[in-house]
Amino acid sequence: MTTLRPLTRAEHNAIRAYAMEHGRYWKASLREDWMNARTTGVMQALRNSHGPSWLVSFSLTRDQPSAGPIRAISVTAGNGDIFEATMMGADEPWMIAYPEGQDRFYGTEREVRAHIRQLILYGAKAKVAP
């Protein structure tokens, strides 16, 4: 049997943001999204590396990385695109994942929400990080 590597902070944050967005039955929703190729970025890479069978035994609290507090924001655009921003601690940037790519952003939760609105309106032209 192959032992899977532990999740990275970015992967755990992406799962936490997804769970916050989809509520109590988030695992069923994620499994369905994975099976119908409706995920991108970190979530799709996690599906490819760990797979749906791993999801059954995964626990947000038990499998949480030990380093620092986790903050997550999930914003759904008018067209249904999901923008997920996660941050591990005060000195870390927000990592923003969205259908067209990723971005890093330093600032408060209010500022990152404003930045996400810019990404929704202007796409990659609004990116801060290359």
Q: What is the pLDDT of residues 14-55, one digit of tens each?
A: 888 888 888 889 999 999 999 998 988 888 889 999 989 999
Q: Is 2 inside a domain boundary?
A: no
Query: What is the DSSP code string of 20-52?
Result: HHHGGGHHHHHHHHHHTT---HHHHHHHHHTHH
The domain of 115 spans 71-126
Per the structure, the count of domains in the chain is 2
Q: What is the pLDDT of residues 92-121, one digit of tens each?
A: 788 898 888 888 898 888 999 999 999 999
Q: Is 43 inside a domain boundary?
A: yes
Q: Is 120 inside a domain boundary?
A: yes
Q: Is the pTM of this model over 0.85?
A: no
Q: Is 51 inside a domain boundary?
A: yes
